[in-house]
Amino acid sequence: MMRVSFIVFLFLFISCKNEDKTTSTEVTKEVQLISNPTGPNSSLPRLFSNGESLFLSYVTKRDSLSTLYYSKYKSKNWQEPIAVSSGTDWFVNWADFPVIAENNGVVLTSHLQKSAKGTYTYDVKLDLYNSEEKNWKNDFLLHNDGTKSEHGFVSMIPSKNGFFVTWLDGRNTAGTGHENHDSHKESGAMTLRSASVDFEGKIINDIELDARVCDCCGTSSAMTNTGPIVAYRDRSENEIRDISVIRFKDGKPLPSQTIGDDNWEIPGCPVNGPSIAAIKNTVAVGWFTAVKGEGKVQLIFSENNGVNFGKPIRIDTENATGRVEVVMLSEKDAAIVWMEPQGEDEVVKVRKVSTSGSTGKPVLVTKISAERASGFPQMVKMNNKLFFAWTETNGPKIVKTAKLDIENLQQ
C-alpha cells in the first residue's frame, strides 16, 4: 500500500485452547493473559461487549483462503468459534479490518471483498446472524453505488432498531487510481457515509456525512443520549488532517465539528484514526497527531452529548505511535489504550482519564511489534474488567487476549 508505506517510513523516527507458553508475549502483573480459541495464523482481532458477554472476531488465512470467525466469551469460557464467511478474493489489511457488533441476539460482522483486479477496488460485505432463530443473511453489500472503488474502514454500534454503521466510501474516486487519492489529481475525494442496518439486514438511511475526508484512517462511532456521534480524520483543501465529529439529532446529521485544533498539515494519510466512546451525556474521543514531528496521543471530553468539548489531555509518556482505543468507565472516567516506544521495545499501555483532566498511572499491557502486522490493539469493558486483544507476530501470527481489573487503573 503506497500511502501506508510512505507514512510508516515518515514516522520511523517517531517511532478453548491452552495458552501458548512459547511466545514472546510479556504482560505485567496487573494484566492477565487469557486463553482464546483463535490458534496459529490468526490476526485482525476485534472485540465487542454487550455488558454481559464478550465477542471476539478474527481472521485466519490458509494459503489464499481467508476466513472470518467469531467466538462468544461468557462465564469465563469461550464458545466454539463460528465461521462467518470465507473467500480467496478478500482484501485483508492490517489497518482496514473486519468489525463485529451484537444487539439483542443478532450479530453483525463486516469483511472486505475485491470488486475488480485493482489492488484497492473492494466492497464492504456484511453478514448477519440471528442467534435465536439460527438463521443467516450472508455476504450482502453495505453500499449500492456499484463503483469499482475503495470502500472500508467500517465502524458499527447497536442502535434502537438494529445497527448504526459508518465507513469510508471512494465512489467519487472511481477510475482515478489509488495512488492519486492523497493528491489533488483525483476527480473526487474519499467520503464518509453512514447507514442503518435493521435486524433483518435491510439497509436504510444511507447518506453522505462528509465529502472530503482522510483516505485510510479508521472511523469510530458511539451512541449518546441524543443519538449517534461519529469521529473521523478530516481533510481540508490545505491538507490539514485533524479529527472531526458529526453528531446526530432527531435522526439527522449536524455539520461537522473539528476538535482539538491540532492544525496538522500532512500530505498523506497517517493511517491512525480516532476512537470515540460515550455513556449517557459524556463523550470521550482519543486520537493520534504528530504536529512538528512529535507523535502525541490526546483525549478530549464532552459532557453535553458532543455539543461542546473541553481541552485536549496529553496521554502518552513518550513520542507515541498511536493506534488508540477508548472506552467509558463511568460518566466521569474513560480508559484509553495506545502504542508507544519504550526503550528498544514497542509497548501497549492503558491509563484512566477523568473529565476533570486528571490522569492515572499508565499500565503496561504488553510488549508488541511496531510492524504493521501487529495491527491495532483492541479494548472493551465488561463488568469490572477491561479486555484486550492484539496480534502477536513473533513466529506465526496469533491473536492474544488479556484482562485487567479496572481497580488496578489508579487515578
For residue 18, the tally of other CB atoms under 10 A from its CB is 6
Q: What domains can be seen in the chain, in order of their start residue?
A: 2-408 (2.120.10.10)
Phi/psi of residue 7, each to 5°?
-70, -40
Take residue 317 and report the three cell numbers written for it.
509518556
What does the pLDDT read at residue 99?
Answer: 99
The amino acid sitting at 369 is S
- Three-state secondary structure along the chain? CHHHHHHHHHCCCCCCCCCCCCCCCCCCCCEEEECCCCCECEEEEEEEECCCCEEEEEEEEECCEEEEEEEEEECCEECCCEEEEEECCECCCCCCCCCEEEECCEEEEEEEEECCCCCCCEEEEEEEEECCCCEEEEEEECCCCCCCCEEEEEEEEEECCEEEEEEEECHHHCCCCHHHCCCCCCCCCCEEEEEEEECCCCEEEEEEEECCECCCCCCEEEEECCEEEEEEEECCCCCECCEEEEEEECCEECCCEEECCCCCECCCCCCCCCEEEEECCEEEEEEEECHHHCCEEEEEEECCCCCCCCCCEECCCCCCCEEEEEEECCCCEEEEEEEEEECCEEEEEEEEEECCCCECCCEEEEEECCCHHHCCCEEEEECCEEEEEEEECCCCCEEEEEEEEHHHCCC
- Tens of pLDDT, residues 267-298: 999 999 999 999 999 999 999 999 999 999 99
Return the percentage of the chain with pLDDT > 70, whole number: 90
The amino acid sitting at 363 is V
Mean pLDDT confidence for 242-251: 98
Distance of CA 360 to the CA centre of its chain: 23
What does the pLDDT read at residue 104?
Answer: 97
Judge contact between 385 and 406, C-beta under 8 A: yes
What integer best gives the mean pLDDT of the chain? 92
Comparing 27-36, 191-200, 229-238, the range with the smallest average pLDDT is 27-36
- Tens of pLDDT, residues 298-329: 999 999 999 999 999 999 998 999 999 999 99
Comparing 235-239, 350-354, 368-372, the range with the smallest average pLDDT is 368-372
Judge contact between 351 and 31, C-beta under 8 A: no
Mean pLDDT confidence for 72-83: 96
Mean pLDDT confidence for 46-68: 97
Q: Tell me which residue has cell 474488567.
A: 385
CA atoms within 13 A on the CB side of 68: 27
Report the C-alpha gap between 162 and 166 in whole angstroms.
Answer: 14
Mean pLDDT confidence for 3-15: 37
Mean pLDDT confidence for 17-46: 75
Whether the per-residue pLDDT at 17 is higher than 50: the answer is no
Take residue 243 and report the three cell numbers written for it.
479529527
Phi/psi of residue 9, each to 5°?
-65, -40
Name the pTM for this structure: 0.91
Report the C-alpha gap between 241 and 303 in whole angstroms.
Answer: 25
Report the C-alpha gap between 192 and 200 in whole angstroms.
Answer: 24
Judge contact between 39 and 60, C-beta under 8 A: yes
What does the pLDDT read at residue 184?
Answer: 35
Bridge partners of 77?
A: 74
Comparing 13-22, 82-91, 236-245, 353-362, the range with the smallest average pLDDT is 13-22
What does the pLDDT read at residue 10?
Answer: 40
Report the C-alpha gap between 107 and 294 in whole angstroms.
Answer: 40
Whether the per-residue pLDDT at 23 is higher than 70: the answer is no
For residue 86, the tally of other CB atoms under 10 A from its CB is 16
Comparing 26-30, 112-116, 189-193, 275-279, the range with the smallest average pLDDT is 26-30
